[in-house]
């Protein structure tokens, strides 16, 4: 069983539509339906005709992704959708073939149906090499890690005991380089999660606000364990 990682837009703008409608997919609004496209060569010619201004390397990249969407993804394959809007990961299974949609917006035309199994798996539940694969830039990419399907399913059910570290390593053969910014953001999040809690986190937030030019007052710890920061800008 293959595991695919899919993306919901640069800023997560497609994520809720994918979850609400049981889909994975992307835009390519200038492309017509890909039903009936039977070879990568045919798909490449169609892409060139639809995007004549695009360079050869970019066309090859997008054709590879779309070929995976239409032909390589199989019923029952697992899908992971890293959610930028919540910081968690949704996991599902592909339940049908390729379909062209004109009712989901220009950025969601070329789709496959998905049954989402779990929508809020914490990133800390996954091993670091899987997180690395989830960070690929591509809209659709195969996760080429040993026993990826078994480990993804296991991660959905395992309680998160200790946050796992994330490191930037060399991609496996055939795997695209990851979004380094996303990896760095995840490293910062996990470091803060491991090392700061309660009022210690208050001091961190206060220091960040001060570095941005705010004048702040941090309330002392109280019996209700509330965390209060008063801040303002001096003009």
Domain ranges of the chain: 3-194, 198-233
pLDDT score of 165? 43
Most confident of 39-53, 156-170, 176-190: 39-53
Which is more confidently placed, 103 or 227?
103
Residue 216, CA distances (Å) to 34, 221, 222 in order: 57, 16, 18
Which two three-digit tokens encode residue 23?
């889909």
- Using pLDDT thresholds of 50, 70 and 90, give the confidence band for residue 161: very low
Tokens of 5: 């990682």
Q: How far apart are CA 85 and CA 16, in angstroms?
A: 9
Q: Three-state SS for 66?
A: helix
Where b means 16+ CB within 10 Å and e means fewer, 143-161 reads: bebeebeebbbebeeeeee
Q: What is the mean pLDDT of the chain?
A: 83
C-alpha span between 134 and 176 (Å, rounded): 10
Question: For 85, phi and psi rounded to 5 degrees?
Answer: -75, -25
**Contact criterion met (CB below 8 Å) for 5 and 141:** yes
pLDDT of residue 179: 57
DSSP conformation class of 181: H
Helix (H, G, I), strand (E, B) or coil at 231: strand
The answer to whether residues 174 and 201 touch, using CB atoms and an 8 Å cutoff, is: no
The pLDDT assigned to 163 comes to: 41
Q: Helix or strand or coil: residue 199?
A: helix
The length of the chain is: 235
Residue range 20-62, pLDDT digits in tens:
999 999 999 999 999 999 999 999 999 999 999 999 999 999 9
Decide: pTM greater than 0.75. no
User: What pLDDT sits at residue 153?
Assistant: 93
Contact in structure between 66 and 43 (CB atoms under 8 Å) = yes
**Rounded distance, CA 20 to CA 235, Å?**
45
In sequence order, what are the residues at sequence separation of 6 or more whose Cβ sits closer than 8 angstroms to the Cβ of residue 142? 2, 3, 4, 5, 68, 72, 174, 175
The two three-digit tokens of residue 163, written as one number: 């946050």
- The structure tokens 């990851």 sit at 178
Q: Give the closest residue to 44 by CA, choosing from 106, 138, 55.
A: 55
């Amino acid at each position: 069983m293959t595991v695919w990682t899919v993306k919901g837009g640069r800023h997560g703008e497609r994520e809720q539509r994918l979850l609400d409608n049981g889909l994975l997919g992307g835009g390519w609004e200038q492309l017509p339906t890909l039903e009936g496209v039977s070879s990568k060569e045919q798909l490449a010619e169609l892409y060139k005709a639809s995007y004549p201004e695009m360079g050869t390397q970019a066309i090859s990249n997008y054709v590879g992704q779309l070929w995976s969407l239409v032909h390589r993804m199989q019923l029952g394959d697992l899908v992971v959708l890293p959610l930028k809007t919540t910081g968690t990961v949704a996991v599902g299974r592909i339940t049908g073939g390729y379909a062209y949609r004109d009712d989901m917006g220009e950025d969601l035309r070329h789709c496959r149906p998905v049954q989402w199994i779990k929508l809020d798996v914490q990133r800390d539940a996954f091993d670091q090499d899987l997180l690395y694969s989830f960070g690929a830039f591509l809209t659709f990419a195969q996760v080429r890690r040993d026993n990826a399907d078994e480990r993804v399913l296991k991660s959905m059910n395992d309680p998160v005991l200790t946050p796992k570290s994330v490191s930037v390593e060399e991609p496996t053969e055939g795997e695209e380089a990851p979004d380094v910014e996303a990896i760095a953001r995840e490293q910062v999040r996990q470091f803060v999660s491991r090392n700061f809690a309660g009022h210690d986190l208050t001091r961190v937030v206060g220091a960040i606000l001060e570095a941005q030019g705010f004048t702040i007052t941090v309330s002392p710890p109280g019996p209700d364990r509330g965390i209060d920061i008063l801040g303002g800008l001096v003009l």
